C-alpha cells in the first residue's frame, strides 16, 4: 500500500501498487485482504475507483470506528503494508450515458466509470442521484459537482439538511427522471437497490435498461 487518506470521518481512500499484468474494467471489484497473520483469509469486496490506465490501484472504503474486522484494520494500516488482491469480477459496466443512482459507498463502482468516461462527449447527458444518511457521510462532493454540474442531486435521508436535499430516492423522485428509454445504473445497500429497481420497473423501465451488480 502506498497511500491512505481520509475523505471524511468514515471514508478513506487507499492506493496500492498495481501488480504486473493486472487489469480491470471500470465498474468491477475484487476481493481484498490484508497481508498480515489473522487477516490473510479475511477477504472483503472493494470496487476499483481509479482508471484502468493508472499505474496504481485505488479503493474507497467506509470504515466505522465502532466496527471491528477488516475494514477497521484498514484504517490503521501504514504505507508499505501489504494487501492481497484476487482477480477482478463484477457485472456493473459502462454501457453508455444514463442515470446513475448510488447510496453511500455504492457509488464506488461508478467512480471508475466517471473518471474513465466522464470526459467523453456523450457522457454530458448523464445524471447522478447520490444519497447518504447524513451530510457528513457525503464525500467527493466537489469532484462529482464539477463533473455533473446541475445534473447531480445530493440527498440526505436520515436528518434535515441545509446543504443538500432531504429525502429518499423513492418512486416519487424517480418519476421525474425515469425515461424508460434511458439506462439506469444502481448500486448501494441491498434494500435501497431493491426499492429503486422496483420503482423503475413500475415506471416502465425495462429490465435490460437497469444495470446492477448480479
DSSP class of 105: G
Query: Is the per-residue pLDDT at 66 higher than 70?
Result: no
**Measuring CA to CA, which residue among 97, 187, 102, 188 is closest to residue 140?**
102
- Per-residue model confidence as pLDDT tens digits over 134-165: 999 999 999 999 999 999 999 999 999 999 99
Instruction: Give the pLDDT score at 65.
Output: 66
Query: Is the per-residue pLDDT at 64 higher than 80?
Result: no
Instruction: Give the pLDDT score at 38.
Output: 87
| CA–CA gap between residue 1 and residue 147 (Å, rounded) | 28
User: Average pLDDT for residues 58-75, to the nearest whole number?
Assistant: 82
Find out whether 171 and 177 touch, Cβ atoms under 8 Å: no
Sorted by sequence, the CB contacts under 8 Å of residue 48 that are 6+ apart come out as 24, 26, 28, 29, 30, 57, 58, 59, 88, 109, 112
Instruction: Give the pLDDT score at 71.
Output: 82
- CATH code for residues 99-211: 3.40.50.80
| CA–CA gap between residue 104 and residue 122 (Å, rounded) | 26
Three-state SS annotation for 115-155: HHHCCCHHHHHCEEEEEECCHHHCCCHHHHHHHHHHHEEEE
- Categorize the per-residue pLDDT at 106 as very low, low, confident or very high, splitting at 50, 70 and 90: very high
Instruction: Give the pLDDT score at 173.
Output: 93
| CA–CA gap between residue 163 and residue 159 (Å, rounded) | 11
Beta bridge partners of 85: 32
Query: Is the per-residue pLDDT at 94 higher than 80?
Result: yes
Instruction: Give the pLDDT score at 67.
Output: 63
Find out whether 100 and 48 touch, Cβ atoms under 8 Å: no
Find out whether 186 and 130 touch, Cβ atoms under 8 Å: no
Looking at every residue in the chain, the average pLDDT score rounds to: 94
| CA–CA gap between residue 11 and residue 106 (Å, rounded) | 12
| CA–CA gap between residue 42 and residue 2 (Å, rounded) | 21
Give the strands of the sheet with 152-156, arranged side by side: 165-166, 152-156, 127-132, 99-103, 184-187, 210-211
pTM of the predicted structure, to 2 decimals: 0.95
H/E stretch holding 109 reads helix 108-117
Q: Which class would CATH give 3-85?
A: mainly beta
- Per-residue model confidence as pLDDT tens digits over 165-194: 999 999 999 998 878 889 999 999 999 999
Percent of the chain, pLDDT > 90?
Answer: 84
Instruction: Give the pLDDT score at 196.
Output: 97
Domain boundaries, the chain: 3-85, 99-211
- Categorize the per-residue pLDDT at 214 as very low, low, confident or very high, splitting at 50, 70 and 90: confident
DSSP class of 175: H
- Residue showing cell 450515458: 97
Amino acid at each position: 500500500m502506498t497511500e491512505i487518506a481520509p475523505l471524511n470521518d468514515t471514508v478513506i481512500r487507499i492506493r496500492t501498487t498495481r501488480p504486473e499484468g493486472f487489469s480491470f474494467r471500470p465498474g468491477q471489484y475484487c476481493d481484498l485482504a490484508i497481508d498480515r497473520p489473522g487477516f490473510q483469509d479475511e477477504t472483503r469486496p472493494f470496487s476499483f475507483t481509479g482508471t484502468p490506465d493508472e499505474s496504481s490501484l485505488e479503493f474507497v472504503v467506509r470504515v466505522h470506528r465502532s466496527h471491528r474486522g477488516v475494514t477497521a484494520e484498514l484504517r490503521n494500516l501504514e504505507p508499505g503494508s501489504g494487501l492481497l488482491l484476487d482477480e477482478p469480477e463484477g457485472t456493473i459496466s459502462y454501457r453508455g450515458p444514463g442515470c446513475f443512482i448510488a447510496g453511500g459507498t455504492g457509488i464506488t463502482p461508478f467512480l471508475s466509470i466517471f473518471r474513465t468516461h466522464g470526459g467523453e462527449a456523450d457522457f454530458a447527458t448523464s445524471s447522478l442521484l447520490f444519497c447518504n444518511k447524513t451530510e457528513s457521510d457525503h464525500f467527493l462532493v466537489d469532484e462529482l459537482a464539477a463533473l455533473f454540474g446541475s445534473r447531480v442531486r445530493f440527498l440526505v435521508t436520515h436528518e434535515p439538511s441545509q446543504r443538500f436535499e432531504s429525502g429518499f430516492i423513492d418512486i416519487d423522485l424517480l418519476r421525474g427522471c425515469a425515461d424508460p428509454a434511458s439506462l439506469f445504473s444502481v448500486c448501494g445497500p441491498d434494500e435501497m437497490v431493491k426499492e429503486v429497481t422496483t420503482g423503475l420497473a413500475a415506471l416502465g423501465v425495462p429490465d435490460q435498461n437497469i444495470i446492477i451488480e448480479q
